[in-house]
Structure 1
């Protein structure tokens, strides 16, 4: 098929295993680029990442909006998880957000970021550059929001991309929001098209994306959801549900009791999963262009190319896997 190379599942898995390393290898140094404090899925994703022993989170880089607010949410969550070894890096700042846009504001009311026991980097872009340059081996970069800070870093220091593999929650190729049978301009691309283009143009070791085709279908309900809801003796799971219960009533589009029975769409967790495994997904290598409106359009002659998770092989299996990660402390090592 011109411009599109379909990958066999075993081939994709083999490539991933080579990237992650053999069983028993040291976990990969990892950076999370996130607009946490907006949609609640970033908070679920951070918990998922912290419960993934294959990945060693070293730096959280905030993206878009008010960088200090987003850093507060990340820092408090890391304190709850007893992971204050993680640096919180303030990315490109877009000015003070309104209270209405600080969807997890009540959870960090009165929180003092300056008292965070770990390191807070005011120039997060430079902190990211310095971290990658100092790292031994490949760095895993997981981008789960619009990415102006990561884009700024690879434009300021193009050499760092060659030391990193990028996993992104971006785009929409064949399926749109809510499983619609046509693509949409996905938010993480549309919110900053220039940043996404810069991200895709950088010379990463590898690029893998989860678009709406796969990540837009993910939500926990039934017993999977209630296992997380009931894990009240687990500080990390409890912090996720606390934030969800504070976040949900502030969403005018959401039924007021929705959060009692299921999650919202957990887009970002797919990018976390792709950083350490791929058994539940099917990939294609896709060449594409990015329109000014934020559409990612298949184009054999397009300037960008990525491994794209286009279909689920086993979505129920992923739900069970994600639930298990969230409610059990699999990081003990």
Structure 2
């Protein structure tokens, strides 16, 4: 079996979470034990997770509903359509924080806790059960060390840190192993050219239950809902993806092979900066790519691989 894995996601605003979840489900290195939804309307987010799991035949994975805080626009409502979470055949856990604690504590080997949104769920889990640090590794799409959004030469206050910065500070101060992809490496990940064309073709050939189709449908409908965002003004959604920040965190859940890593002493400030400071905690940071094409090819190959033909039964 693969590495026991939990995904904590704020799926339903930026579309990169959809791509990350689809990629995660195509990674045999990761044995997904739980997916939790964080911040905003966590029931809406859980509905998106549930629809994707049902389409991809993975209703065996429990869904934990996290803490609802600071809602943002529901940019995936059109794709979600009339999906009814009450009719979902898989396991729903309304105490998502408790589910995180329980899943980590019973795991037979160290859990990759992959976090691709703000981290109030994780801070709450640490407060409830500090011993989770002993059996989990925090893997996050968080921060900005030397470069900011769109490869800007100065670091920025990154969204997942800035939103609930005190929760992020608690998570980074915890004693577990910490690995992050800051904007330095995740802020320039786009699928375009032949890779994007192959995803479009796979979506057409494989149908609505495929990872490629789920990603492409969400991508196109999300773009219609967000095309007034300044960052998207020059983007042609028929030719490329948006920036897929969260894919890199999933990749780090099982390998660092294509990345240049450095261990830095990091502090999170109350206003959401990610600073190198000798008073901080050691964090392994993905600062550069040494083979980005290898990573993009891996993502593409997995997303276009044929769907599993039958559904796995839900876990007891």
TM-score (norm 2): 0.92
Change (3 A) 1:193 1:257: closer
The Cα shift of 1:109 comes to: 2.4
Matched, 1:307 2:284: yes
Q: 2 CA distance for matches of 1:331 and 1:169? A: 28
CA distance in 2, matches of 1:306, 1:129: 22
**Equivalenced residues, count:** 302
For 1:329 and 1:54, the matched residues in 2 are separated by 17
Query: What secondary structure does 1:92 align onto?
Result: coil
2:3 paired residue number:
28
- Residue 159 in structure 1 maps to residue 134 in structure 2: no
- 8 Å Cα contact 1:52-1:331 kept in structure 2: no
How much has 1:329 moved relative to structure 2?
Answer: 4.3
- Alignment partners' CA distance in 1, 2:154 and 2:74: 31
Structure-2 separation of matches of 1:258 and 1:174: 29
Q: Which secondary structure state, in structure 2, belongs to the residue aligned with residue 103 of structure 1?
A: coil
Structure 2 residue aligned with 1:227, among 184, 198, 223?
Answer: 198
Give, in whole Å, the separation in 2 of the partners of 1:312 and 1:219: 14
Q: Structure 1 residue 275 and structure 2 residue 275: aligned?
A: no
Secondary structure of 2:117 counterpart: coil
- Structure-1 separation of matches of 2:29 and 2:42: 28
| Rounded Cα–Cα distance in structure 1 between residues aligned with 2:306 and 2:265 | 39
Q: Offset of 1:208 from its aligned partner?
A: 0.6
Q: Equivalences for 1:31-180 in 2 at 5 Å?
A: 31-94=6-69, 97=71, 101-180=73-152
Aligned partner of 1:325 in structure 2 is 302
Once the 2 structures are TM-superposed, how far is the Cα of residue 257 of structure 1 from its aligned partner? 6.7
**Whole-Å separation in 2 of the counterparts to 1:169 and 1:256:** 25
CA distance in structure 2 between the partners assigned to 1:83 and 1:218 by the alignment:
27
Q: Conserved in 1, the CA contact under 8 Å of 2:56 and 2:307?
A: no
The corresponding residue for 1:9 is none
Q: Mind listing any 5+ residue stretches in structure 2 that lack a counterpart? A: 310-316
CA displacement, residues 51-99 of structure 1 (integer Å, 9 cap, x when unaligned): 000001121110110010000000000001100001111000127x47x
1:126: how far off?
0.8
Alpha-carbon distance in structure 2 between the residues aligned to 1:297 and 1:267: 20
1:167–1:275 CA contact under 8 A, matched in 2:
yes
Q: Tell me the TM-score normalised to structure 1 length.
A: 0.87
C-alpha separation in 1, matches of 2:54 and 2:67: 23
Give RMSD over aligned pairs: 1.6
| 1:316 aligned to which of 290, 293, 300 | 293
| Change over 3 Å in CA distance of 1:184–1:160 after alignment to 2 | same
State the secondary structure of the residue aligned to 1:207.
Answer: strand
**Cα separation, 2, equivalents of 1:329 and 1:27:** 20
The Cα of 1:303 is off from its aligned counterpart by 2.3
| Alpha-carbon distance in 2 for matches of 1:290, 1:94 | 20
What's the offset of the Cα at 1:114? 1.5
Q: Note if contact 2:158-2:183 (Cα within 8 Å) is conserved in structure 1.
A: yes
